[in-house]
Chains A and B, each alone.
Chain A
């Protein structure tokens, strides 16, 4: 059995899935109304950025976790076939990640390309897609670590909360306590530890609100605004996709089903 076949079946299943459809439609309506309501394109993109940062991690993480747990019987069935565990797991991930990415690209990407096409909106799309990939990969990791679905969902909620809220709170506490020291570089380092922050700053630096980030903003812009900076941020995000996947494959290989 090939990877392609499994991806095909997962995708076919997800197309019929109501949650994905609702997610797409909600994003689509939201972006059209946000971009239509605020006459200012830059403001519209800022609002969509807020939507992306708040909902994309949470929904993708929860949905992928629940979906993997729900298809555990399907997975067990597949493992009865002559297929490597690694191939099977990655195929499942590819299917889910493709469907969710498509949902984001249709929901946010299409309205944005139609109504507000500029470098910032392209960057928003890129960040959104990356966040989708990262958080569905983390969903997979949660699935292979926890054997119990309830515990898995709990872990997904805590993880989403950690990256959207708690991490930034800790970062603020760090900045607050070390504000007397030159902390701009460590801060860039810390930002790399949170995919949501990376995505947010990539988009902000393309918007003209970036100047408001002041002196340290200038430093960030000098680094993250340059081609090398963007490449660095994208590499970080790619690592954020790869790490949970590698970990999942390793754990799953030894997992007793």
Chain B
């Protein structure tokens, strides 16, 4: 009994100790638009102090945060970089910034101008900030264990060239990016050389290029995000051990748009996502050992485009509904395995009533083989001739890769 009571006191003490440096023990500086500049307030502050920025417009820029301080903003505390400069440059560990709005950074080709830039720091937290009309929104450079939560990152760029990314991370690790809403940038979220990080419950939409762009980033996970109406969908390239679960990829619709584009990916998992109304739901090139399991793939132009350079991937227990083409491929060799998926176009039978079709399903249609070889043949899309071709090929497969088949197609939609 006595031991336990001591423990709870200890916990209470520890909690107080942890909480107070941020708010209690340090000094509190109040900055309003009439008083001293934010930079000079930071200059006189010490580690553990708090800066409270009252509502108002601050025409200030390149604010260097080189101390372990907390910066809190009142609603409508707006830092305006007058389309020439950057907002905050955080260069110290464990800085906490919350509730600030940064607007109108400059746009140059020389430096990546960002609303909030974190440089060589650890444990920085950016919460509830608004980043409106900036080149780059939040920029993490060579930083570890940072958290970016509940931010709104918005811009309206006209073309890819003068626009930056919403949340940009480079050469970082152990990041947590969650609950942000990113729109109107070049890439919504961009990861390059970022490891062991998580991207959770974000919403990335109406970005010019990719909703999420992954390059050379290993051991990362992204879940429960929504990627909608992006110019080219989501791209995951040159990475391994990426876990993609419970995301929604929807309405990435256009000439060269993909729900999810995978290029040179190894040992990754795509589980329980929803792909709805994309031109191509999943495009795979040069992938090795990627598991695609229990996803819903509905109303897409192509459900899967698996190039012949992919190997060792498994496609199991996915639902394929209402796609114009189920699978397209550019070769006859197929080193990937399809098993126990539900295909709405399957018209086989199930004599022993075990809910598994007795004859294999061939998901590559004749016409999709033809158009993959000669794209101009797409002009015959939906003509009676090609419909007849497909039916004939179904009865007697000759041109379609015969190894690409699902030996155990589900008779009923799989409950996901």
Which A residues fall within an 8 A CB radius of B?
40, 43, 46, 49-50, 53-54, 164-165, 168-169, 171-172, 175-176, 179, 183-184, 187, 191, 196-197, 200-201, 204, 208-209, 211-218, 220
A172-B378 contact in complex given A50-B387, A212-B279, A215-B255, C-beta closer than 8 Å: no
Q: In the complex, are the beta carbons of B301 and A211 less than 8 A apart?
A: yes
Q: In whole angstroms, what is the CA distance A179 to B375 when docked?
A: 9
Q: In whole angstroms, what is the CA distance A184 to B383 when docked?
A: 18
Q: In the complex, are the beta carbons of B322 and A43 less than 8 A apart?
A: yes
Contacts of B301 in A (CB 8 A): 209, 211-212
The chain A residue sitting closest to B370, CB to CB, is: A172
Mask, B305-328, CB within 8 Å of A = 1, is 000000000000000001010000
Contacts of A214 in B (CB 8 A): 255, 371, 375, 378
Which B residues fall within an 8 A CB radius of A?
253-255, 257, 279, 299, 301-302, 322, 324, 370-371, 373-388
Q: In the complex, are the beta carbons of A217 and B386 less than 8 A apart?
A: no
Q: In the complex, are the beta carbons of B324 and A209 less than 8 A apart?
A: yes
Contacts of B375 in A (CB 8 A): 214-216
Q: In the complex, are the beta carbons of B378 and A165 less than 8 A apart?
A: no
Contacts of A50 in B (CB 8 A): 382, 384, 387
Q: In the complex, are the beta carbons of B378 and A216 less than 8 A apart?
A: yes
Contacts of A164 in B (CB 8 A): 384-385
The chain B residue sitting closest to A207, CB to CB, is: B382
Q: In the complex, are the beta carbons of A53 and B376 less than 8 A apart?
A: no
Contacts of B322 in A (CB 8 A): 40, 43
The chain A residue sitting closest to B367, CB to CB, is: A172
Q: In whole angstroms, what is the CA distance A184 to B378 when docked?
A: 11
Q: Which of B257, B378, B384 contacts A54 (CB under 8 A)?
A: B384
Contacts of B324 in A (CB 8 A): 209, 212
Q: In the complex, are the beta carbons of A172 and B253 less than 8 A apart?
A: no
CB A59 to nearest CB in B, in angstroms, measures 14
Q: In the complex, are the beta carbons of A184 and B382 less than 8 A apart?
A: no
Q: In whole angstroms, what is the CA distance A201 to B254 when docked?
A: 18
CB B137 to nearest CB in A, in angstroms, measures 29
5 smallest beta-carbon distances between A and B, as pairs: A168-B385, A179-B374, A212-B301, A216-B376, A213-B378
Q: Which of B377, B378, B386 contacts A176 (CB under 8 A)?
A: B377
A209-B381 contact in complex given A172-B370, A214-B375, C-beta closer than 8 Å: yes
The chain A residue sitting closest to B385, CB to CB, is: A168
Q: In the complex, are the beta carbons of A165 and B385 less than 8 A apart?
A: yes
CB B209 to nearest CB in A, in angstroms, measures 17
Contacts of A213 in B (CB 8 A): 378-379, 381
Q: Which of A40, A49, A169, A183 contacts B376 (CB under 8 A)?
A: A183
Q: In whole angstroms, what is the CA distance A201 to B378 when docked?
A: 11
Q: In whole angstroms, what is the CA distance A183 to B376 when docked?
A: 8
Q: In whole angstroms, what is the CA distance A43 to B388 when docked?
A: 19
Contacts of A197 in B (CB 8 A): 379, 383
Report 17 cross-chain contacts, Cβ distance below 8 Å, ordered by A residue: A40-B322, A168-B384, A169-B385, A172-B380, A175-B379, A183-B376, A196-B384, A209-B324, A211-B254, A212-B301, A212-B302, A212-B378, A214-B378, A216-B376, A216-B379, A217-B378, A218-B255
Q: In whole angstroms, what is the CA distance A183 to B378 when docked?
A: 13
Chain A CB count within 10 A is highest, among B299, B302, B381, B384, for: B384
CB B399 to nearest CB in A, in angstroms, measures 12
Q: In the complex, are the beta carbons of B388 and A165 less than 8 A apart?
A: yes
CB B383 to nearest CB in A, in angstroms, measures 5
Contacts of A196 in B (CB 8 A): 383-384
Q: In the complex, are the beta carbons of B377 and A49 less than 8 A apart?
A: no
Q: In the complex, are the beta carbons of B384 and A165 less than 8 A apart?
A: yes
Contacts of B381 in A (CB 8 A): 204, 209, 212-213
Q: Which of B376, B377, B382 contacts A200 (CB under 8 A)?
A: B382
Q: In the complex, are the beta carbons of A175 and B255 less than 8 A apart?
A: no
Chain B CB count within 10 A is highest, among A172, A187, A216, for: A172
Q: In the complex, are the beta carbons of B374 and A211 less than 8 A apart?
A: no
Q: In the complex, are the beta carbons of A211 and B253 less than 8 A apart?
A: yes
Q: In the complex, are the beta carbons of B374 and A176 less than 8 A apart?
A: yes
Q: In whole angstroms, what is the CA distance A176 to B386 when docked?
A: 14
8 more contacts with CB within 8 A, not counting A165-B385, A214-B255, are A50-B384, A54-B384, A164-B385, A175-B377, A196-B384, A209-B381, A211-B301, A212-B324
CB B106 to nearest CB in A, in angstroms, measures 35
Contacts of B380 in A (CB 8 A): 168, 171-172
Q: In the complex, are the beta carbons of A175 and B374 less than 8 A apart?
A: yes
CB B415 to nearest CB in A, in angstroms, measures 20
Q: In whole angstroms, what is the CA distance A200 to B386 when docked?
A: 13
Contacts of A171 in B (CB 8 A): 379-380
Q: In whole angstroms, what is the CA distance A212 to B376 when docked?
A: 11
Q: In the complex, are the beta carbons of B385 and A208 less than 8 A apart?
A: no
Q: Which of B299, B379, B385 contacts A201 (CB under 8 A)?
A: B379
Q: In the complex, are the beta carbons of B385 and A211 less than 8 A apart?
A: no
Contacts of B254 in A (CB 8 A): 211
CB A46 to nearest CB in B, in angstroms, measures 7
Q: In whole angstroms, what is the CA distance A179 to B253 when docked?
A: 26
CB A45 to nearest CB in B, in angstroms, measures 11
CB A57 to nearest CB in B, in angstroms, measures 9
The chain B residue sitting closest to A46, CB to CB, is: B382
Contacts of B385 in A (CB 8 A): 164-165, 168-169, 172
A175-B253 contact in complex given A54-B384, A200-B383, A211-B279, C-beta closer than 8 Å: no
Q: In whole angstroms, what is the CA distance A43 to B387 when docked?
A: 16
Contacts of B253 in A (CB 8 A): 208, 211
Contacts of A40 in B (CB 8 A): 299, 322
Q: Which of B255, B371, B376, B388 contacts A184 (CB under 8 A)?
A: B376
Q: In the complex, are the beta carbons of A49 and B374 less than 8 A apart?
A: no
CB B253 to nearest CB in A, in angstroms, measures 6
Contacts of B388 in A (CB 8 A): 165
CB A124 to nearest CB in B, in angstroms, measures 12
Q: In the complex, are the beta carbons of A49 and B299 less than 8 A apart?
A: no
Q: In whole angstroms, what is the CA distance A197 to B371 when docked?
A: 17
The chain B residue sitting closest to A43, CB to CB, is: B322
